[in-house]
Amino acid sequence: MAVDLLLGLQWGDEGKGKIVDVLTSDYDIIARFQGGPNAGHTLEFNGIKHVLHTIPSGIFHENSENIIGNGVVIDPVIFQKEIDELSGFNIDFAKKLFISRKAHLILPTHRLLDTASETAKGKAKIGSTLKGIGPTYMDKTGRNGLRIGDIELSDFMDRYNALRGKHLEMLENYNVDIQFDLEELEREFFLAIDSIKKLKFIDSEKYFSDAKKGGRTILAEGAQGTLLDVDFGTYPFVTSSTTTAAGACTGLGVAPGDIGDVIGIFKAYVTRVGSGPFPTELFDADGAQLAKAGNEFGSTTGRARRCGWLDLVALKYACEINGVTKLYMMKADVLSGFDTLKVCTHYKYRGEKIDFFPYNIEEKNIEPIYTEVPGWKKDLTKVKSSSEFPENLNKYVEYIEKETGIKIEVVSVGPDRTQTITM
Ligand code: IMP
């Protein structure tokens, strides 16, 4: 058995959900390994658009099992809403959605702490989605967290109350004015806990070991992107989990030797939501055109995404860290209409020309160095095969392949399942 990985190579929002959905028919099991409701994986098919936050993107396929791994953090309230929103799809959740007992729970007070922390940071804020992700992972690594498996224990309420008490003390120390009705938040939380109990909890490492023995195929679905990784991203403007390939091993309980293909997803340009450095960010009409044509608004928060040209320095870095074996390029259709496209090939870093991703990519240290390539005018959204691609798109694809040394296997030309072109 090989566990194939699918992950984002930029700052998230690369279109991973769409591709998992497209690939699901090739796999028996789809598994999320990190992140939580900060993610928003958008899927479009049969004229329906759907955004998933915690549930793996294989949920719509009849024969796939969907696993929420131990590396994921779960907000039961958001999770329940997601399940409710899928009620029209006739999905038998008890049969096809399983949760690792070792996944951590996001408490209402984790969300409050997230808000307090961001408020206290003022201008230096991370731009968090405020879903409680950071405080929950802090409790996990601090060995204070509550896990899904704890729900089954007779002293769950004692554990809950102990952590809640700790959080309320921490909130006082932040000394910021945030309004909340904890009683109401807890009412929702415990209702959702009752619902989540109806699903099957598993020991995911045992589940994957059995799947391996049974020769079943697995696709691990990453959330966020490589440049938001807590170690290798643009720290501190990152999320709190390991979004890179290594995270799939720790977030599911599979061994490194079991990893097969690593599918790296990237947009034909770059976007970022929230704060933090972004060397190729555009503040001009070209940036506005990308934002408009790409409908670049966050699927979880609705925030406008920052847009910029493709950054090859960052892309090569992401390919290396993850050991990418196949590239999928998304949103090529958004680049239609430009006379010329710019691609960043190097950075000027403290006066020196470099071709690697340095420790500090803050604006004051970095200036992108671009090469220009010819654009294309053709609307790609109706294209059915790569033979219909304009010549300059083929050249763009070949150029990226040559620079990264990795084949682009798929080019996506629109949000729908059908707008996916295999090269
Ligand atoms: P948090 O993980 O919600 O605390 O957010 C930390 C940073 O990661 C912020 O800049 C967010 O905008 C960003 N972020 C978190 N999740 C996503 C995602 O799924 N897509 C894009 N950006 C994200």
- Nearest alpha carbon to residue 234 among 11, 71, 9: 11
Give me the sign of the Cα torsion angle 109, 114, 115, 119. positive
Residue where the block lists tokens 């990264």: 404
Q: What would the pLDDT profile of 258-293 be if each residue is shown by its tens digit?
A: 999 999 999 999 999 999 999 999 999 999 999 999
**Nearest residue by C-alpha to atom 8 in ligand 1:** 239
pLDDT for position 296: 94
Cβ of 42 less than 6 Å from ligand 1: no
Nearest to 291, CA basis, from 275, 314, 311, 271: 271
Q: Per-residue confidence at 165, pLDDT binned at 50, 70, 90?
A: very high
pLDDT at 150: 98
What is d(CA 55, CA 80) in angstroms, rounded to the nearest whole number? 10
Q: In the chain, what percentage of residues exceed pLDDT 90?
A: 89
If you take atom 10 of ligand 1, which residue's CA is the nearest one? 274
**E-strand spans in 122-234?**
200-202, 218-221
Q: Give the distance (Å) from ligand 1 centre to CA of residue 219.
A: 23
Q: Mean pLDDT check: name the lowest of 141-150, 357-366, 405-414.
A: 357-366
By CB atoms closer than 10 A (0-12, 13-18, 19+), residue 349 is buried
Q: What pLDDT shows up at residue 44? A: 83
pLDDT category at 302 given cuts 50, 70, 90 is: confident
Mean pLDDT of 30-51: 90
- Quick check: CB of 127 below 6 Å from ligand 1? yes
368 pLDDT above the threshold of 70: yes
Answer yes or no: is the C-beta of 223 below 6 A from any ligand 1 atom. yes
State if residue 34 touches ligand 1 by the CB under 6 angstroms criterion.
no
Ligand 1 atom with least separation from CA of 8: 20
User: What does the pLDDT read at residue 1?
Assistant: 60
Q: What is the pLDDT of residues 49-79, one digit of tens each?
A: 888 999 998 999 888 999 999 999 999 999 9
Q: Does residue 13 have an active-site annotation?
A: yes
pLDDT score for 166: 98
- Round the average pLDDT of the chain to a whole number and report it: 95
Specify the higher pLDDT residue, 334 or 41: 334
Q: Is the CB of 133 under 6 A from ligand 1?
A: yes
User: 129 in ligand 1 pocket by Cβ < 6 Å?
Assistant: yes
Active site residue 53: no
Q: What is the CA radius of gyration of the chain?
A: 21
Q: Is the CB of 38 under 6 A from ligand 1?
A: yes
| Protein residue whose Cα sits closest to atom 5 of ligand 1 | 128
- More confident call, 42 vs 324: 324
Q: Ligand 1, residues 113, 128, 266: which to mutate, most atoms within 8 A of Cβ?
A: 128
Query: For residue 224, how far is its CA from the centre of ligand 1 (angstroms)?
Result: 7
Q: Tell me the mean pLDDT in the region 115-133.
A: 95
Give the model's pLDDT for residue 313: 98
Query: Ligand 1 pocket: which of 115, 273, 301, 306 to mutate (most atoms <8 Å of CB)?
Result: 273
CA distance 136 to 407: 38
Q: For 353, phi and psi rounded to 5 degrees?
A: -85, 120
- pLDDT for the residue 332: 98
Residues 6+ apart with CB under 8 A from 327: 263, 264, 266, 319, 400, 401, 404, 406, 407, 408, 409
303 pLDDT band, cuts 50/70/90, is confident
